[in-house]
Structure 1
């Protein structure tokens, strides 16, 4: 444990960066020397703050917001006014340098994490697609840097139990192996009044094995194999009209993942090469009472299987010369198969189909059954390749850099949609029918960037950068049930004002942006005050938005807004104001609006972009009491506050969540071989909403979690850190 008699450590933002092993391959050794807004959270901070998932870094990182709603499949990331609820993410995720291809797998339990880096602003030149808002890099604990056994247990509100165990060994000076396992059980916080049981229960577990080998000073081999399982209820959606959670059909989500990443590095004189290879597998299933009412309208079961392969080869210069360079080649292949049947039940058939048919034609259909399936089967293979380069030139106090990436992607959607409808309508009869086709999309992007850093001294610098960001286009499969329902109505002679052209409705274009940024990394008062400040301006074209078509619809549509603008600033500060008092502050402001967006007859120009918060703020104060006994090293007292909002819930800005703040506190007893923490979150029982949406003309929302308390025990055995 770092004592406050020692000089404060070098950090990258207001969040502490602990003493860690350098494992980054692309962005260099020290982020403070780079023209990027970056927050680095080290192991000590992760454990003291009780961070168990990436979404718990919300507000601690300026302009970074991951709302906790729905299920762990819902990993919506919003940063600097950019983000979308479904399909492509706005921020990339790498674990031990391996990129995750599916946003649905972003939300998993963190255990034995060495550090987390959150880089804001486009990282597309080095990392490619879906990093226009930034990238999150997670590095797990290295068995070559740590030896021993770690045990952890936590009990908290909602009958939540977390257990973890890991062991790290070095059979030889150049070989390290680690095994880690985790388990989580929680009963949840929200009750479905229809069943009388909590609906957001969760069970999860996983294991990780890491093997590192350094045969000599030039070669290194690192392989991580991770397995995870998740079962949960989730979806505590309450009627906005009544405030009650009450639906009659089951909701839930399950997921099984397997990931293997192999990194091989070779360091020569003046240059080094790294190969990062991965295989990713995900099998998940989402079950929804899609009307979220006690009535029997319709349900959805979405099951998908993902296989992904990635290969990234990076060659870069070594040393502290005037000129540095990096070149790389990246390729991926992903194959997704998905089945997504929507089952219309008695209320859905009568109110959504029969009533509408009678209203428009004067005839009422009579169904042979009180059930009708709208079945969809998809195959969605995609592959891509990229070449990229970055050069850096040092001229006195100036560090100049420029880079370019060419990115190609091709995706295909093969769909087979069918319905088992059997009904009489007037003098005729409507029988089962099938629709099938194959859609193709290809995307080519040039992704340049340029930046300059002016080094005032070792702790202070100014920088400016301009970069292009890119989020891939694709196909939105969640509209197929609506398309099929429309086909059923047309066979009954009901023709809406809208007619769904599948290629137009299902496909959406890539999102592109230009990010202009100026910032400063600063340190003064002998390093006791450190931080960064950033101003940004983003011009975005074809921003991807998730919208609900008007009327009593069953699908969600991904559409492209014409143009949007986002501007704002960020500030992160850490201050050691006294020998034992540590303060950390972060604030982000974003003014994100539509510059050009028409939907139907509505013109939303000048309106704020929904779901992206205007303000994020956090303040953490820690006071350490030194004890200096063999049985107790010290006591850490901490209080914190986080705030976010306002958040617009629709394009018209007629509904919003006001700014809200959550308070927390903790007391932590630290000893060389472990720690014991008592903590509380949402201390003041603040009531707030984290999500709002509409389904078949009804509005729903999800409340934020109530007050939580817990106790966390950590034990370190045979600790020997190098």
Structure 2
């Protein structure tokens, strides 16, 4: 793995500055696809950024940042949960072009400041998947997406007053995005035979079916215009050691999905009784538009009490919200079932497009109590927080039963997350620093019945129960001018257990990753020698299901690196 980066900053003239950066990276990957004998997670990336700043004498500030980046990845290190091997025969890759520009204009007046933030983003994603992730010719997916997005935000806030008093801010935020996606699924020989013909032949007593073409293309095209507007206000009041905050936000969003899915092929039907043969066309088309509108009022309140010397206590309550959306990956399954119905074969339970393709907004109430502590003249600093999140219609990624090819987002009824986290940083001896952190989360379903199982009391997938870390760094002055300081560091990070499914039958146990480094620090350079996952711990970072087969994404193995930064 190689990473290169260069950046420069210049003052052009009084009040004007310009910065630029270039970067490039590549990696031959960590994991081998046993079906091809090649590394499957190779990567190459690069980009550039340029930033202009203006600082006027009368309170005017202007910042503009433009960037472009390119990414080309192989994919994906998905191992069978049954065999533990990564083996698939069709190419997988992910390519991305990202272009963005952001302009911030701010004016600080005597009574208030006004800031305008404008941004534009263009993204072109091209993903290719061997969607069965097996060394067999089932089916592939290519998902090509182009998206344009524009945002505009205006914030007006009162100038901060010293001592006690009242402060406020008001804001207006709007966005518009438009994405166009082509997502054809290509069924190959094994996929046609086992996912379509086997079911058709098993349920038709009169005919035997066969396919007249080597592949079957299920073509899907989507256009998704999305627009939203938000208006918000926050008031702050300070008296003595007390700080009070009240805020409210009104969010409105409208999103549409224009879909056009179609397929055309030919199949042969041979009558069992007399051998009469019919060559028949087979076509299916799904076209339409889905619409969703969301509006939500989001209040929040917080209070903070200063204990003195950098310590305080706080409490807050707020309402959270995440807009709904569409399950575009399910259209290939809907089209496949439509084909089977037209052949006279049962394709399973019929999909309700409006229900399967959409998922509702997620809403939550968030409660937090915590504080910050500073002791021993700043040598010891700590933070702690206790939280509770009550969520309705939580958005979850699920994988339908059977030989389906897609995944979908659905809404759980109610969930609750309780937990806490704490961290402390201390200088325990001269230049020897120690940092400890721990977090615990109990995230469970309070009400979630999908019609097949009742998951009440089960842990929510992908939410780690424990997170812990310890890090120690010792800075040693060498007294040699050209060498600088030597920094010795070591640490450990633990995560888990993580449940991968709603039934909690698949779990990533708690695991610990160890790291260590030796760094030379000098005003003009730093040289860092580092090792990660030094014990070579085997762990997984993601789980999913395709065609009823479970797969896991492997975590990175033991790695070593050397990094050199030069400051001219």
Q: TM-score, normalised by structure 1?
A: 0.76
Shift of 1:421: 2.3
The higher relative CO (CA closer than 8 Å, separation ≥ 6) is in: 1
Deviation at 1:307, TM superposition (A): 0.2
Q: 2:288 aligns with which of 427, 433, 437?
A: 437
Instruction: Give per-residue Cα distances to partners, 1:104-124, cap 9 Å, x unaligned.
Output: xxxxxxxxxxxxxxxxxxxxx
Give me the CA root mean square deviation. 1.1
Give the 3-state SS of the residue equivalent to 2:504 in structure 1.
coil
**Map of 1:368-387 to 2, 5 A cutoff?**
368-387=212-231
Match of 2:202 in 1: 359
2:244 alignment partner in structure 1: 400
- 1:684-699 to structure 2, matched below 5 A, reads 684-699=535-550
Q: Hey, what's the Cα distance between the residues in 2 that align with 1:390 and 1:433?
A: 53
Residue 414 (structure 1) shift: 0.3
The residue aligned with 1:342 is: 185
Q: In structure 1, what is the equivalent of residue 559 of structure 2?
A: 708
For the 8 Å contact 2:338–2:347, the answer to whether it is kept is: no
Gaps of 5+ in 1: 1-159, 718-722
**In structure 2, the residue corresponding to 1:623 is in which secondary structure?**
strand
Question: Residue 709 of structure 1: CA displacement?
Answer: 0.1
C-alpha contact 1:355 1:364 (8 A) present in aligned 2: no
Matched with 1:325 is 168
1:360, distance to aligned residue in structure 2 (A): 2.2
Give the whole-Å Cα distance in 1 for the aligned partners of 2:457 and 2:281: 47
CA-to-aligned-CA distance 1:332-366 (integer Å, 9 cap, x gap)? 00000000000000000001110011122244322
Unpaired segments of 5 or more residues in structure 2?
A: 271-277
Distance of 1:226 and 1:284 partners within structure 2: 17
Secondary structure of 1:684's aligned partner:
coil
**8 Å CA contact retained: 1:425, 1:492:** no
TM value normalised by structure 2:
0.97
* Equivalent residues in 2 for 1:643-658, closer than 5 Å: 643-658=494-509
The answer to whether the 8 A contact 1:463-1:520 is kept is yes
CA deviations 1:341-392 (Å, max 9, x no partner) are 0000000000111001112224432211010000000000000001000000
Aligned partners of 2:409, 2:365: CA distance in 1, in Å? 22
> Is residue 300 of structure 1 aligned with residue 151 of structure 2?
no
Which residue of 485, 510, 515 maps to 1:664?
515
Distance between the aligned counterparts of 1:399 and 1:443, measured in 2? 33
Q: Is the 8 A contact 2:304 2:313 kept in 1?
A: yes
**Which segment is superposed worse, 522-531 or 406-415?**
522-531
Deviations along 1:393-449, whole A, 9 cap, x unmatched?
112221110100001000000010001221134557342232100110000000000
| Counterpart contact for 1:232–1:252, Cα < 8 Å | yes
**Contact 1:518-1:536 at 8 Å conserved across structures:** yes
Give 3-state SS (helix, strand or coil) of 1:357's partner.
Answer: helix
* 1:254 pairs with one of 87, 95, 99: 95
Residue of structure 2 in register with 1:521 after alignment: 372
Which among 243, 246, 255 is matched to residue 84 of structure 2?
243
Deviation by residue 1:40-94 (Cα, 9 ceiling, x = unmatched): xxxxxxxxxxxxxxxxxxxxxxxxxxxxxxxxxxxxxxxxxxxxxxxxxxxxxxx
Confirm whether residue 229 of structure 1 aligns to residue 70 of structure 2.
yes
The SS at the match of 1:432 is strand
Structure 1 Cα separation of the partners of residues 14 and 494 of structure 2: 47
Question: 2: distance between equivalents of 1:207 and 1:622?
Answer: 33
Q: Which segments of structure 1 move beyond 6 Å, counting only runs of 4 or more? A: none
In the TM superposition, what is the alpha-carbon distance from 1:495 to its structure 2 partner? Answer: 3.0
Judged with a 3 Å threshold, the aligned counterparts in structure 2 of structure 1 residues 458 and 391 are, in CA distance, closer, same or farther, namely farther
CA distance in 1, matches of 2:176, 2:102: 15
Q: Rg: which structure is higher? A: 2
| Partner-residue secondary structure (3-state), 1:482 | helix
Aligned mates of 2:414, 2:347 — CA distance in 1: 29
Structure 2 Cα separation of the partners of residues 641 and 425 of structure 1: 64
Match of 1:188 in 2: 29
Alpha-carbon shift at residue 573 of structure 1 (Å): 1.3
**1:669 alignment partner, SS class:** strand
Larger strand percent: 2
SS for the counterpart of 1:168 is strand
Separation in 2, partners of 1:493, 1:430:
14
Instruction: Choose from 439, 458, 467 the match for 1:616.
Output: 467
In 1, the alpha carbon distance for the partners of 2:14 and 2:489 equals 39
The 8 Å contact of residues 200 and 233 in structure 1, kept in 2 or not, is answered as yes
Q: Which moved more, 1:582-591 or 1:540-549?
A: 582-591
Aligned partner (choices 553, 556, 563) of residue 414 of structure 2: 563
Is 1:424 matched with 2:265? Answer: no
SS of residue paired to 1:577:
strand
Whether 1:456 aligns to 2:307 is yes
